[in-house]
């Protein structure tokens, strides 16, 4: 079902059909979920809603300790996958054009933003266009600012961007052929501008969702419950510690009537022989608290596939390369899933780049585009010297090309630039070798 048929069936051909899509119950429920995630990341946690209580006849405001560990975990996952730039691999002429677009459009930085928002909110959109400078650029649309429109086959047939600025609501409606800009400036909804759409619909990056094929799922849904319990346990334990710092005095036996000598500095109690006086307090069970808190903490690391060593929870020393790989095996698995989500969007992104390059006089064939691949270098601690040595041995055996070495090298970011530099140096090396023909170290120098 195309967009025209969809509008006739569902919206009776209304020109303001996008309002119904944005205001639908399912979409508002999704937007509310995104807003709750943003509030959580901002520090508005469930623990802040703890009620006050009475103690010794006084109203006590309980401790409300907020642990922003979710941000740390999400930042780790983002940087673990994208700390090193994504390498574009394929036909030489195609890669050369793509690297120019990637550099001028700052797409490496946008990749980090996309993955961060993808994990936080489950989905994010990217729209490609040619900016005022004539460069291919992209715009990232947050999950709470964008509403994708799907037909009954699960195909996206339109996209609506909506936001409020200075009390005015703006709508940007993307279709395959055009982009319409609407606003209610002046109190009435009206069409403000209309443009030709050169790149088609925005790219929708989304994670897997067991209940929906068109909507992603936030990573925070797996972390929030565990973190809420960690904050609850820690806050209540601190409250208990402060309450137990107020002991009850207990005197056992008969107190003598005669007072203590007045020349004694301070005060005291005069007790009968065999009597006793002590301050009684409840004993804090610190071991139980430590066990519960560490169990929750380990559960959080397991669920998020975060190595304990990366969060300073494990002491390590003199680890081999294999041991490091084992420690980060869960992180590699998680990074592989995130890599899959990104790759799906990346292929669509660069396919749209090919379309936009045609308007700049650059044509990339379908055969060349079929060679496109992306190489992710995870930010796993490693022995770089050992990696370089292994690649050197493979190259000496004739089993590894220079291009592959540059792609896998931890020291090279711009493969094409480095390859050009190597090719520029080789003619000079041959020239120097030719100049030295016929001479040896034993040749007598004449001054």
Q: What is the pLDDT of residues 261-314, one digit of tens each?
A: 555 555 566 666 667 777 777 777 788 999 999 999 999 999 999 998 887 776
Cα 282 from Cα 411, distance rounded (Å): 59
Tokens of 221: 């849904």
Model confidence over 317-329: pLDDT tens digits? Answer: 666 667 777 888 8
> Using an 8 Å Cβ cutoff, are 81 and 334 in contact?
no
Cα 350 from Cα 369, distance rounded (Å): 9
Cα 219 from Cα 279, distance rounded (Å): 49
Model confidence over 199-231: pLDDT tens digits? Answer: 999 999 999 999 999 999 999 999 999 999 999
Handedness of CA 390, 394, 400, 401 (dihedral sign): positive
What's the whole-model pTM score? 0.83
> Using an 8 Å Cβ cutoff, are 77 and 375 in contact?
no
Cα 157 from Cα 442, distance rounded (Å): 79
Cα 3 from Cα 23, distance rounded (Å): 18
């Amino acid at each position: 079902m195309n967009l025209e048929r969809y509008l006739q069936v569902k919206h009776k051909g209304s020109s303001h059909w996008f309002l119904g899509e944005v205001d639908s119950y399912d979409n508002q429920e999704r937007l509310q979920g995104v807003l709750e995630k943003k509030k959580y990341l901002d520090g508005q946690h469930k623990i802040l809603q703890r009620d006050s209580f009475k103690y010794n006849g006084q109203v006590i405001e309980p401790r409300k300790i907020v642990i922003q560990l979710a941000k740390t975990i999400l930042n780790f996952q983002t940087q673990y996958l994208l700390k090193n730039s994504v390498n574009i691999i394929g036909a030489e002429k195609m890669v050369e054009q793509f690297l120019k677009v990637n550099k001028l459009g700052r797409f490496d930085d946008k990749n980090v933003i996309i993955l961060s928002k993808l994990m936080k909110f489950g989905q994010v959109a990217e729209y490609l266009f040619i900016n005022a400078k004539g460069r291919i650029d992209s715009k990232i649309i947050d999950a709470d600012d964008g509403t994708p429109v799907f037909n009954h086959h699960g195909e996206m047939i339109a996209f609506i961007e909506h936001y409020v600025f200075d009390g005015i609501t703006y709508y940007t409606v993307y279709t395959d052929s055009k982009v319409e800009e609407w606003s209610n400036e002046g109190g009435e909804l009206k069409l403000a501008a209309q443009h030709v759409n050169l790149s088609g619909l925005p790219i929708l990056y989304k994670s897997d969702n067991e209940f929906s094929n068109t909507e992603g799922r936030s990573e925070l849904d797996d972390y929030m419950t565990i973190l809420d319990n960690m904050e609850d346990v820690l806050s209540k334990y601190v409250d208990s510690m402060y309450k137990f710092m107020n002991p009850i005095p207990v005197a056992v036996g008969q107190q003598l009537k005669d007072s203590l000598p007045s020349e004694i500095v301070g005060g005291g109690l005069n007790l009968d022989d065999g009597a006793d006086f002590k301050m009684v307090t409840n004993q804090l069970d610190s071991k139980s608290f430590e066990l519960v808190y560490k169990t929750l903490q380990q559960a959080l690391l397991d669920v998020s596939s975060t190595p304990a060593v990366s969060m300073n929870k494990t002491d390590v020393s003199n680890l081999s390369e294999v041991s490091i790989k084992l420690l980060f095996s869960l992180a590699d698995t998680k990074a592989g899933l995130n890599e899959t989500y990104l790759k799906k969007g990346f292929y669509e992104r660069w396919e749209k780049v090919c379309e936009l390059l045609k308007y700049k006089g650059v044509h990339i064939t379908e055969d060349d585009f079929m060679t496109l691949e992306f190489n992710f270098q995870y930010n796993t601690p490693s022995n770089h010297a050992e990696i370089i040595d292994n690649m050197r041995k493979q190259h000496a055996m004739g089993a590894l090309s220079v291009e592959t070495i540059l792609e896998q090298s931890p020291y090279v970011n711009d493969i094409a630039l480095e390859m050009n530099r190597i090719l520029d140096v080789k003619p000079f090396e041959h020239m120097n070798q030719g100049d030295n023909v016929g001479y040896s170290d034993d040749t007598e120098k004449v001054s």
